[in-house]
Amino acid sequence: MRFSSFEIPDSGYDAIIFDCDGTLIDSMPAHYEAWQIALDEHGASGVFQEDVFYAMGGRPTTDIVSQLNGDYDLSLDPAAVADSKRRAFLTLLDKVAVIDEVVDFAKSQRGKKPMAIATGGTRMVIEKTLQACGISDLFDEVITADDVTAGKPDPEVFLTAAERLGVAPDKCLVLEDAAPGVMAAQLAGMTVVCVPPPVKVEQ
């Protein structure tokens, strides 16, 4: 199945697993804005550059804070920053939207193959994001950072999704947009389709 920006294999998989932010939902700009708000609240304005943010896509918030601490000799409380970032993002849900090609593919497979979301986001935020975009009912399972002990690029979130779907990892197709997630899916032994970022149309 060919879309304008990516191609889905015709066969070889029995289940489909989707990343959420940046893959199903165009939410990464809102997440970056939330990061800036949170870091400003904690006295660390300007330390998280946009290109670094996108390179870390899919990693849990607390992991990113820990890395920022190491990179910039900071002593931020990962849990406190994560809470601030979560609250900030929830005020920006009006800025997120589905990525039509990926969601159209998911809708075309509903009832044909089991489908899951495997994300580095927390359950509360992901559920509110899916609800805001009207796609909560598309997926059989939603695996979040709350369900695993290690975030992407560790393969645990994808392996957990496969287990809950009852499908062997090597029979799972993953759609991902970020390098840590692609690596995690590959380490899980799954076939990966890379979803490029949405093309921005100048107004």
Active site residues: 19
Q: What are phi and psi of 58, to 5 degrees?
A: 95, -15
Q: Could you give the C-alpha distances from 151 to 157, 158, 178, 180, in angstroms and in order?
A: 7, 10, 13, 9
**With contact defined as beta carbons under 8 Å apart, do 68 and 100 qualify?**
no
Specify whether the CB–CB gap between 117 and 24 falls below 8 A. Answer: yes
Which residues face 143 on adjacent strands? 118
- Calpha distance 197→99 (Å, rounded): 9
Neighbours of 13 (CB within 10 A): 18
Read off the DSSP letter of residue 58: T
Question: CA 24 to CA 175: how far, in whole Å?
Answer: 9
